[in-house]
């Protein structure tokens, strides 16, 4: 389809919105785009429908079929409601939990969702205000609900919003329900099929009581309360970056016994405009700058932050020069995993029936930790829904310890089935207290972990390609990597290529091909080198990006070699990026 045909189709779809049963403000926005001589905005808003995928919805807010608005949110909810009424037809009352973050329009979208569920005879438990995503997950299990929805775009820029659907185990939806729901959403061909008029009798507001129940479970995760008692005045700096952690995370820390938590008042302001940051992403130094500056000012022991829906954790510790540096997601997961394994072992909780999980793009050092400690280990696809699916599969058979991913997500307890910054920040504060109690700096602890289990360094590089042309370019890149894989990576020969789209692992040195045991196919490629390094490539499922995850191995005999190992790893990553033709 050439540009003229695309514009013709887009204008026809936009005209349907002008003629349809849409509100006046929406029609005015559509008309303004149609009247504009530059049609880029119109094309981007209408060239496709915002797809309800396996992760729900995520997109820019505004009028149009490819935008987050009450109509695209409404269609998703109507489709989900239709599926729930079929899947749980034997229940007297189907129920769901609805939550939202701090973003602009999040409350409007959440109320719209609750109204549509109730209009379809489904009871909706709607939180009275913004809440962390993990609390919504917890509430589904706590209330015995069949599903849940959280309105959030996680750490995306302020122009975005999103919609994530959950199943009765409190986890994001996977097969077969994901595709079945997508089919139901696809059947909503007109907004006239969406029941917007809610039934107040079927909407119940959730408030402080659910907070208390959730925080009580979080407190049970503590593995060394006596250490916290001794180090209760640990200097902690915490920022919610304008988001949902603003109340519950300080409460969680206080529940554990911490008495010296310093806030960033400007970032305690709840705002979907995120006025103090360009992007509310705790993995970016700019988003953590106010917190690390305050940490330096008061000589804090640890600095932490959460993203807008409080499922991702950011951690900064003092390096050898006393300057705060942000741990990457792999390093945060390493420290959390190391501590939990250590304490489970010391507390006699390791019986041989425990397991840990990571995603395939997360550091292989975690695998080594599990293996050496006799703990069963599982690799799953990127996305916490796969970690949750493995927890559900093994529930009642084995005991979950923890699971994590490189993208700053970690889950230290199975009462929640999504990544949980509330629990993870609580656990990290305990680790900081333990380290101080043992006269160990957190930065030195990280070095010791590397010296014990092997050093690796990771870097994620992404390429952004917006719109239809960008999506086409990303698809072509994946085809090129499949047809023309690199022969070497960072100075080491590529030994194994794993293609999760064909579910085959090919040994390039022997020619042997093995099947990959995964629950579904996925558009991911991985290259493993002879020296143990790894590069993973995947298009993002939620953003217009293609992502490259580099993990390189470098010898490190002891902690004193940490800096040199890091420099050598940087050189290997630089070369590996060139080998991948992106640098």
Record the pTM.
0.94
pLDDT at site 542: 66
Beta bridge partners of 496: 507, 528
Mean pLDDT for the stretch of residues 182-211: 96
Rounded to whole angstroms, how far apart are CA atoms 430 and 424? 10
pLDDT digits over 173-189, tens only?
Answer: 998 998 899 899 989 98
* Contact indicator for 238, 246 with CB cutoff of 8 Å: no
pLDDT digits over 111-127, tens only?
Answer: 999 999 999 999 999 99
Mean pLDDT for the stretch of residues 480-494: 93
Rounded to whole angstroms, how far apart are CA atoms 129 and 211? 12
pLDDT at site 2: 59
For the chain, give the percent of residues with pLDDT over 90.
91
Rounded to whole angstroms, how far apart are CA atoms 461 and 87? 41
pLDDT digits over 431-469, tens only?
Answer: 999 999 999 999 999 999 999 999 999 999 999 988 878
Mean pLDDT for the stretch of residues 17-27: 96
Q: Give me the catalytic one of 137, 147, 154, 306.
A: 154
pLDDT at site 543: 74
The whole-chain average pLDDT of the chain stands at 95
Backbone angles phi, psi at 101, to 5 degrees: -100, -155
The question of whether 154 is a catalytic residue gets the answer: yes
Res 292 pLDDT > 80: yes
Structural domains for the chain: 1-47 (no CATH), 50-206 (3.40.120.10), 214-453 (3.40.120.10), 456-579 (3.30.310)
pLDDT band at 423 (very low <50, low <70, confident <90, very high): very high
pLDDT digits over 43-53, tens only?
Answer: 999 999 998 87
Contacts 24+ apart (CB under 8 A), 349-356: 349/399, 350/374, 350/375, 351/399, 353/397, 353/398, 353/399, 354/398, 354/399, 354/400, 354/401, 355/390, 355/394, 355/398, 355/399, 355/400, 355/401, 356/400, 356/401, 356/402, 356/403
pLDDT band at 302 (very low <50, low <70, confident <90, very high): very high
pLDDT digits over 232-241, tens only?
Answer: 999 999 999 9
- For the CA atoms of the chain, what is the radius of gyration? 24
pLDDT band at 107 (very low <50, low <70, confident <90, very high): very high
Res 16 pLDDT > 70: yes
pLDDT digits over 51-93, tens only?
Answer: 887 778 999 999 999 999 999 999 999 999 999 999 999 999 9
């Amino acid at each position: 389809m050439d540009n003229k045909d695309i514009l013709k189709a887009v204008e026809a779809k936009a005209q349907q919105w002008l003629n349809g049963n849409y509100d006046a403000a929406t029609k005015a926005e559509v008309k303004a785009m149609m009247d504009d001589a530059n049609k880029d905005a119109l094309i981007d808003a209408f060239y496709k429908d915002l797809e309800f995928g396996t992760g729900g919805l995520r997109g820019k807010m505004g009028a149009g079929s490819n935008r987050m608005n009450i109509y695209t949110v409404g269609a998703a909810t109507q489709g989900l409601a239709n599926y729930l009424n079929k899947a749980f037809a034997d229940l007297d009352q189907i129920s769901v939990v609805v939550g939202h973050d701090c973003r602009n329009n999040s409350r409007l979208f959440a109320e719209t969702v609750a109204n549509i569920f109730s209009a379809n005879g489904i009871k909706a438990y709607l939180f009275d205000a913004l809440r962390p995503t993990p609390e919504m997950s917890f509430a589904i299990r706590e209330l015995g609900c069949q599903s849940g929805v959280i309105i959030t775009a996680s750490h995306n820029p302020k122009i975005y919003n999103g919609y994530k659907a959950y199943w009765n185990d409190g986890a994001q939806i996977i097969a077969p329900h994901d595709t079945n729901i997508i089919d139901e959403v696809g059947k909503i061909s007109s907004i006239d099929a969406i029941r917007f008029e809610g039934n107040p009798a079927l909407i119940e507001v959730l408030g402080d009581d659910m907070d208390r129940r959730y925080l009580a479970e979080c407190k049970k995760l503590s593995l060394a309360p006596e250490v916290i008692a001794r180090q209760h005045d640990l200097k902690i700096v915490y920022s919610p970056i304008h988001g949902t952690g603003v109340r519950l995370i300080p409460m969680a820390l206080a529940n554990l016994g911490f008495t010296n938590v310093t806030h960033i008042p400007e970032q305690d302001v709840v705002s979907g405009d995120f006025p103090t940051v360009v992007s509310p992403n705790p993995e970016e130094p700019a988003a953590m700058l106010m917190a690390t500056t305050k940490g330096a000012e008061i000589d804090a022991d640890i600095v932490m932050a959460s993203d807008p829906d409080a499922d991702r954790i950011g951690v900064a510790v003092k390096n050898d020069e006393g300057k705060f540096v942000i741990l990457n997601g792999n390093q945060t997961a390493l420290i959390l995993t190391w501590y939990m394994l250590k304490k489970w072992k010391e507390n006699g909780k390791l019986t041989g029936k425990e397991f840990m999980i990571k995603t395939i793009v997360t550091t292989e050092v975690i695998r080594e930790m599990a293996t050496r400690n006799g703990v069963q280990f599982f690799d799953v696809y990127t996305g916490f829904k796969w970690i949750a699916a493995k927890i559900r599969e093994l529930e009642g058979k084995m005991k979950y310890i923890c699971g994590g991913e490189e993208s700053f997500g970690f889950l230290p307890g199975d009462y929640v089935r999504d990544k949980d910054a509330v629990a993870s920040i609580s656990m990290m504060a305990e680790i900081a207290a333990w380290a101080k109690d043992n006269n160990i700096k957190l930065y030195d602890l990280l070095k010791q972990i590397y010296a014990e289990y092997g050093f690796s360094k990771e870097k994620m590089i992404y390429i952004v390609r917006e719109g239809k042309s960008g999506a086409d370019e990303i698809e072509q890149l994946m085809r090129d990597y499949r047809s023309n894989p690199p022969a070497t990576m960072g100075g080491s020969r590529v030994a194994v290529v794993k293609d999760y789209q064909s579910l085959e692992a090919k040994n390039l040195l022997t020619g042997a091909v093995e099947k990959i045991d995964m629950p579904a196919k996925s558009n991911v490629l991985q290259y493993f080198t002879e020296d143990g390094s790894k590069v993973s490539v995947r298009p993002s499922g939620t953003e217009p990006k293609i992502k490259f995850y580099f993990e390189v191995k470098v010898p490190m005999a002891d902690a004193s070699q940490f800096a040199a190992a890091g420099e050598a790893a940087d050189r290997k990553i630089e070369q590996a990026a060139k080998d991948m033709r992106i640098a």
